[in-house]
Chains A and B, each alone.
Chain A
Amino acid sequence: MSPPAARPRTLFEKIWDNHVVHAEEGRQTILYIDLQLVHEVTSPQAFEGLRIAGRQVRRPERTVATADHNVPTTDRSLPIVDPISKQQIDTLEANCKEFGITYYGLGDQRQGIVHVMGPELGYTQPGMTIVCGDSHTSTHGAFGALAFGIGTSEVEHVLATQTLLQYKPKTLELRVDGQLGRGVTAKDLVLYLIGQITTDGGTGYCIEYTGEAVRGLTMENRMTVCNMSIEAGARAGMIAPDQTTFDYLKGRPYCPAGAAWDEAVATWRTLPTDEGATYDKSLVFDGADIAPQVTWGTNPGQVASVNATIPKPTDYADATDQKTTAQSLDYMGLVGGEAITDLKLDRVFIGSCTNARIEDLRAAAEVAKGRKVADTVHAMVVPGSGLVKQQAEKEGLHKIFTEAGFDWREAGCSMCLAMNPDKLAPGERCASTSNRNFEGRQGKGGRTHLVSPAMAAAAAVAGHFVDVRDFE
């Protein structure tokens, strides 16, 4: 007699089920964590907590650390000027040494933004549970992993127990049918989706991105999409692993090799959502509807097509939306009704865990090639990791950028959150490939518009936003 057919499950449910250590009615599930990524900003208090309680790191080999948020992106041979930044970075190095954790420091070519570095080195793999004290951990979901950001108390919990207490989120399928048009990128896709479901439309959910337009994305593009899941409020975002995933991972330093590789791929092939499995909610979009996107407000859901005009508070019915729109426009130095392409820029930032991988830099370089940054604009490119920088220089991208007048920097989070010296001055308007346009995010009083790398490069050259599809 054959066993009863298993209930069809989603990708999320399979990974969740595979990691349940202990589940009890009415309690949070104890979920096993395969990999914890650690950086300097959200970990010192967690290590201190371990020391105070006399606890060890349970599985140091499942923990990987780097310094990214707080590091200068200027010459690495010079000492760090800010003593408090230096202390935080030194503290991480000392903690890693004390607890036996692999640390990629500033002198290491492999150092970089934690969400660029993890996948690049092959730490990130399909089917894993991955956490980090950083909300953009959702990036790793691009590999068909369950990856999400946690607070420092939870960082300590994972260090001590290699598990996390979790309530099971609901599942939300965002299906994008058809193809993306010419000049429309993964960044535009995810900004469009956030605009559609709003900045808290994903709260309480784990998103799975499906559909032809998603399947057609490269791994790096998929990371851009999953990265911004948190900007829709979602716990995590994921894309089912497929041949694109396996091709990207094969041969990476921390991926299985030889027979173990074949075995791993065979297991990973069982992960995608089963036929007949259902999500708590499903929404369907058409890739052909998406134009290059530009955010105009102070949350990533306040976004419009580049060829649109900026909305006015009165365009909204809901009182809170009206007030929020008015507050956002006021901060952004806008009134509503302006054409996006009329917005003049002071700064351009190409970088961040959203858009600082090699394909992002290639896309920006293609636009910048043979052109000049407008006199009124200061533009900078910050590669996502030392390895991305190395590859870009091998391809001569740095020459294209510097000849066009872009500033070419060392790897780090840089002006995505402006924790290091890279920041906007009050009132400066910036086209940024990062993930958050919050007030003051890139510097107090700075005005951030989120765009794709190609759109950012085109804006740098034109001095104002332009539709990259018309950019000749």
Chain B
Amino acid sequence: MKSFTTHTGKVVAMDRANVDTDQIIPKQFLKRIERTGFGEFLFWDWIRNDDGTPNPDFELNKPEAAGATVLLARRNFGCGSSREHAPWALDDYGFRVIVAPSFADIFYNNCFKNGMLPIKLSEEQVEELFQRAAKYKGYQLTADLDSCTLSDEHGFSTSFEVEPFRRHCLLNGLDDIGLTLQHEDKIAAYEAAQAGA
């Protein structure tokens, strides 16, 4: 798995709540059998007009969003389907960090499996970041997983919470399956006990 230690990147602010995984990657792109190459399909129905031309009103198409790697959104980001294609698409597009007041459970979990960092802040802090993103040209945020801080160059700094084990795995890019298989004896013992029960 990819590791994550620290990342500084340009912010794109998406002023929407309940962004669901159907929007992040629509179903017609779930037919592929690979893990890669989903970035070009990200936000497919929002990013372009019906005639296929770019939708100039969509946040990711604004000139100032070019090269953004930090996505700022409102509450319940990533709700809906369990499709891991959603974090694959965000990752492939170039996003490394997503900041929101809350995330849907499965999506949140899927991000960690792909070396991306979802950061939960309070509604007030997220609002503050939205205002800063509007105020400062080329607004950037730095996420430091080692110290669990999110900061900008204009005096904003906050700590965020990540479960210690998740943080450990992401910092070191550890393979979950490999970790679990270190406990193979316990799995075998569990199965033996069940069979004997």
Contact = CB atoms under 8 A, between A and B. Distances in A.
Q: Is chain B a partner of chain A in the same complex? A: yes
Interface of A: 21-22, 26-28, 30, 32, 41-42, 44-45, 48, 53, 55, 58-59, 69-70, 82, 84-85, 87-88, 91, 133-135, 149-154, 156-157, 160-163, 165, 167, 199-200, 203-204, 230, 233-235, 298-299, 320, 323-324, 327, 417-419, 426, 436, 438-441, 444-445
A106 to B, nearest CB: 16
A134 B82 CA distance: 5
A154 B105 CA distance: 13
Interface of B: 15-18, 20, 22-23, 26-28, 30-35, 45, 50, 74-76, 79-84, 87, 102, 104-106, 109-110, 113-114, 123, 163-166, 176-177, 179-181, 183-184, 186-187, 190-191, 194
19 contacts: A21-B183, A30-B187, A45-B33, A45-B35, A70-B31, A84-B32, A85-B31, A134-B81, A161-B180, A200-B76, A200-B104, A233-B76, A323-B15, A419-B30, A426-B50, A436-B22, A438-B23, A441-B22, A444-B26
A150 B31 CA distance: 18
The 5 closest A-B pairs by CB, nearest first: A44-B33, A153-B113, A151-B84, A149-B82, A151-B110
A153 B82 contact: no
Contacts of B164: 26
B180 A163 contact: yes
A28 B164 CA distance: 10
B80 A165 contact: no
Given A88-B33, A200-B75, A418 B18 contact: no
B181 to A, nearest CB: 6
Contacts of A445: 50
A299 B74 CA distance: 15
Contacts of A30: 180, 183, 186-187
B58 to A, nearest CB: 13
Contact of A320 (B17, B80, B110): B17
Contacts of B176: 153, 157, 165
B28 A235 contact: no
A323 B187 contact: no
Contacts of A149: 82, 106
A21 B75 CA distance: 34
A308 B107 CA distance: 34
A82 to B, nearest CB: 8
A70 B75 CA distance: 31
B165 A27 contact: yes
B112 to A, nearest CB: 9
Contacts of A22: 183, 186
A199 B79 contact: yes
B172 to A, nearest CB: 14
Q: Which of B17, B18, B109, B123 has the most CB atoms of chain A within a 10 A radius of its CB?
A: B18
B23 A162 contact: no
A21 B190 contact: yes
Contact of B22 (A27, A151, A440): A440
A26 B186 contact: no
B45 A324 contact: no
Nearest to A419: B27
Given A48-B33, A91-B33, A299-B79, A200 B18 contact: yes
A154 B32 contact: no
A361 B79 CA distance: 29
A380 B105 CA distance: 33
A85 B31 CA distance: 6
B109 to A, nearest CB: 7
Nearest to B31: A84
A203 B102 contact: yes
B82 A200 contact: no
Contact of B82 (A44, A135, A204): A135
Contact of B30 (A28, A41, A91, A167): A41
B177 A439 contact: no
A134 B17 CA distance: 22
A156 B165 contact: no
A233 B79 contact: yes
A420 to B, nearest CB: 9
A32 B50 contact: no
Contacts of A55: 177
A53 B183 CA distance: 18
Contacts of B181: 160-161
B177 A156 contact: yes
A42 B186 contact: no
A325 to B, nearest CB: 10
B104 A233 contact: yes
Nearest to A202: B105
Given A200-B75, A324-B17, A440-B26, A151 B109 contact: yes
Contacts of A153: 84, 110, 113-114, 176
Contact of A151 (B26, B113, B165, B186): B113
Contacts of A85: 31
